[in-house]
Each structure stands twice: as structure tokens, then as C-alpha cells.
Amino acid sequence: MKRVLNIVPVPVPPEALDAFAAQLSGDFVHPAFENVFVSARNGGGSLDSAYETTLADAFVLDAGCRAEEQGYVGVCVNSMSDSALAALRSRLSIPVVAPSQATMLLACLLGKKFSVVTMWPQWHELYHKAARENGITSRLASVRDIGVRPDAAELLAGKEEFVFAALEREAKAAVAEDGADVIILGSTTMHQSHAHLSTVLDVPVLNPGVVAYKMCEMLVQTGLSHSKQAYPPPERPQDDLLAAVASVFPSQES
């Protein structure tokens, strides 16, 4: 089996990882591949600011920097924050993929303009940053939110009826008012809403965790990976630098 490491960039309890793993059902995963989900040992909680995203960068790098020597064939950062994407590409030679970059570039393939529909306004900068870094700000029609604080442990459990209706309203407005012809879900914690939105919208709806994983799978199958000319390796790796930091959930330590 070809193992892919999926990293949730905030600490979550072990049982919450099952909810993240559920987005990659058997229908989406090639039989030769196996997905392993882990979360950052420590760091931010809601990625609501530059402060928290910087912490996430450090602990995602910590979680993934040994992936190659541990036998993984690829790494997926399971968050639209794209935490530590460039750093992991620098450290590793195996493919490293993250959802914001993957979904936005796919949206450009599928349409002329895309909108991101997300949970709360604190995440807007994540998408504007990704669009800037990938040179596609002109393709981002809008970012819309429903004003609901995300929950990385429970995801949308118990809030489906209200959240699905609110996301549908904002997605339809993005198409009708903002000119979007592709909709991107703003978080992997929103994956439960994808099936509903796909049935009520007449434009493609991209589920970020699935898109990032399938991109990683395709790169592995085709023997491609990121250019080391673009992401040169460090002269002196320091993979144990954060080893002394205690894990929020010690039971997840290997």
C-alpha cells in the first residue's frame, strides 16, 4: 500500500480525526493507497489570525518533516490555510499538496471566476493570501461567510440544517451577484455540506480535502513532484527543534 500522510493543522482529539478521514471515502481513494490522518501536536486552535497561522506552520512542519523517511509517498495538508506548504516542499522530495492552492488552480481550469464560501470572516485572509501567492487574484470573484464559528472537533455535526441552508444562500449569491461560476468550500471542516451544495447549485462545487488528496494521488501515480529548484532543501535540517513541546493530546504520540 502507498501511504499518504494527511495533517490537520490544529490539535484535535483522536476521535475527531475520524470525521476528517470521512471526507475520503472508498470511492475517492485508489485501492493501492492508504490515508493516515494526524493532527498538529500543539499550536493554534481556530486559525483566526496571522498569529495562529504562524503557529500552525511550525507544528505542521513538525508533523510532516519526517514523512519521507517514515515511508509515506505523499503529504496532504488538510486545511485551506495551506500551513507549511512551502516549508514541507523544501524539506521533502515526495509530493506535498494543500487545499487552497489545489482547489483554486482547479477552479481556474473549470471556470472563469470562483468564489469561496466559508464559515466566518476571520478566515477571509486565508483565501486572499492564497490567491495573491498563486497570482490569481483576478479570478477570485468573492469570499462570503455565514458568520458561524467553526468547530475543528465536531465539524458540522448538529448544525447541518442551519449551516447547509446558510451556505446555500451565500453560494447562490456568489453566483448571481458576484459572477462566480465555480464555488469552493472554505474549509475541510465543511466537507459534510458538499453533497447538499452540489445538488442545489448549477456550478461546480469543490470539496478542498478531496481535491488536494486526489491531486497528491495523481502526482504519486505519474511520478511527479514539486521542483527542488523552486523549493531548495535546507542546508541543515533541524527536525527535532519542537520535540520538547508537549502534545495537547498525548495519546496521539507515536
| Tens-digit pLDDT profile for residues 174-191 | 999 999 999 999 999 888
CA distance 107 to 105: 5
Length of the chain (residues): 254
| Tens-digit pLDDT profile for residues 139-165 | 999 999 999 887 654 455 556 678 899
CA distance 169 to 226: 38
- The model's confidence at residue 252, banded by pLDDT at 50, 70 and 90, is low
Single-letter residue type at 127: Y
- Euclidean distance between the first and final Cα of the chain, in Å? 20
List the grid coordinates of 142.
Answer: 468573492
Half-sphere exposure of 106 (CA within 13 A, CB side): 22
**Over pLDDT 70: what percentage of the chain?**
94
Within 10 angstroms of residue 36's Cβ, the number of other Cβ atoms is 14
| Tens-digit pLDDT profile for residues 159-179 | 667 889 999 999 999 999 999
CA distance 28 to 84: 25
Instruction: Give, as one character, the DSSP assignment of residue 48.
Output: -
Instruction: Give, as one character, the DSSP assignment of residue 105.
Output: H
